[in-house]
């Protein structure tokens, strides 16, 4: 029952963000928008809010509610990003017949360059913090090989996603070939699901995470190609998906995590499609900088985390203050920095480093 209540709290936690955006965009809230486009932006905003929420707290049994929220969020927030990446790849590239060479160059600029830049920035940041950091940085030959040659690890743990997504993107010719041979689509989806269940840990090139993310990514491709959710936009289906997701989380200990993550994706997509019909500007204060939030949120959150660990007494009020400060600073400091880079400086090389189109 506790987990079921927390599901509602997780999906309801964005209410304050609804208000934050809604008072500014109230006229839009009262009218229907372009659901075919706006739901993707709403879902991206929801997904990055979950990432910041999941990465922004000290999670221990001393604060069981926050710990349970983290478990729920971690069950599907990155699979949701894989799904959206696959959906957008089909929408903007596969469906339009864009060549592999063009996609490859684009992904090197969009994924690999920011990966290198922010890995180095994070190392510098950890060196500045020194012993104040929870995990001080120590340079070694092994660090260089693992981070920049084999991509087995990274001082900023979240960077695994960029490596895994880049590897998945390298299969673009295969996705296009299968798109021309629909008979093999189900086979590939089934094989990718089986790969995600492999127990062996393969850290080189983040292959374990590649196998984990691939079924959600390809599910996104199929969802875009066949409009899989177009008939499920009513409030009845949304209600069913929330109940299903709650049930999956209640029994998550005995269910495959693939199934739990899929429930979170379906619930998030249906919620985004429904809400965007009436509130297409939801999360508009930060959703256009989702990628930059992913890259930059760790820095203000690390500062808050360090300050809390050294200077704030271990108490419920102190923890709540830290938790919400970490969440909102993790969202809006990156937005401010990215907005300055894009609109203030507007240098194409700096935009490249920050992943700004």
pLDDT of 14 over the 60 cut: no
Spatial contact of 260 and 248, defined as CB atoms under 8 Å apart? yes
Q: What is the share, in percent, of the chain residues with pLDDT greater than 70? A: 82
Average pLDDT over residues 251-255: 88
* pLDDT band at residue 57 using 50, 70 and 90 as cut-offs: low
At residue 324, the pLDDT reads 86
Q: What is the share, in percent, of the chain residues with pLDDT greater than 90? A: 54
Q: Looking at mean pLDDT, say which of 67-76, 152-161, 187-196 comes out highest.
A: 187-196
pLDDT tens-digit profile of 201-230?
Answer: 888 999 999 999 999 999 999 999 999 988
Instruction: Name residues whose C-beta falls within 8 Å of residue 185's C-beta, 6 or more positions apart in sequence.
Output: 178, 179, 222
Q: How many CB atoms lie within 10 A of CB 199?
A: 5
At residue 29, the pLDDT reads 32
Average pLDDT over residues 87-101: 94
Residue 156's region, left for phi above 0, alpha for psi from -120 to 50, else beta, is beta
Structural tokens at position 332: 């809006």
Average pLDDT over residues 180-199: 90
Taking the C-alpha atoms of residue 217 and residue 165, their distance in angstroms, rounded to an integer, is 9
Taking the C-alpha atoms of residue 32 and residue 255, their distance in angstroms, rounded to an integer, is 38
Structural tokens at position 343: 């609109």
Taking the C-alpha atoms of residue 330 and residue 53, their distance in angstroms, rounded to an integer, is 9
């Amino acid at each position: 029952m506790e987990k079921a209540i927390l599901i509602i709290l997780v999906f309801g936690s964005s209410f304050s963000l609804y208000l934050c955006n809604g008072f500014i965009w109230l006229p839009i809230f009262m009218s229907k928008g372009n659901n075919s486009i706006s739901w993707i932006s709403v879902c991206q905003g929801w997904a990055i809010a979950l990432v910041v929420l999941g990465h922004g707290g000290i999670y221990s049994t001393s604060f069981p509610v926050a710990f349970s929220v983290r478990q729920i969020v971690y069950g599907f927030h990155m699979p949701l990003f894989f799904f959206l990446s696959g959906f957008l790849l089909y929408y903007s590239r596969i469906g339009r017949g864009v060549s592999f060479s063009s996609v490859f160059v684009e992904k090197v600029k969009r994924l690999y360059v920011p990966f290198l830049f922010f890995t180095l920035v994070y190392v510098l940041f950890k060196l500045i913090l020194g012993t104040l950091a929870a995990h001080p940085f120590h340079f070694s030959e092994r660090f260089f090989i693992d981070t920049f040659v084999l991509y087995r690890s990274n001082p900023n743990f979240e960077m695994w996603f960029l490596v895994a997504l880049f590897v998945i993107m390298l299969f673009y010719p295969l996705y296009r070939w299968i798109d021309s041979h629909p008979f093999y689509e189900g086979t590939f989806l089934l094989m990718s699901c089986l790969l995600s269940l492999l127990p062996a840990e393969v850290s080189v090139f983040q292959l374990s995470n590649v196998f984990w993310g691939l079924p959600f990514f390809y599910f996104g491709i199929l969802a875009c190609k066949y409009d899989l959710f177009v008939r499920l936009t009513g409030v009845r289906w949304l209600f069913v998906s929330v109940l299903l997701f709650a049930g999956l989380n209640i029994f998550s200990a005995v269910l495959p995590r693939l199934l739990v993550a899929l429930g979170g994706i379906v619930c998030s997509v249906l919620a985004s499609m429904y809400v965007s019909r009436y509130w297409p500007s939801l999360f508009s204060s930060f959703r256009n900088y989702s990628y930059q939030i992913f890259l930059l949120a760790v820095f203000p959150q690390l500062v808050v985390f360090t300050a809390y660990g050294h200077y704030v007494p271990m108490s419920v009020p102190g923890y709540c203050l830290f938790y919400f400060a970490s969440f909102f600073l993790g969202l809006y400091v990156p937005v401010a920095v990215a907005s300055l880079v894009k609109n203030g400086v507007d240098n194409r090389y700096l935009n490249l480093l920050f992943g700004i189109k």
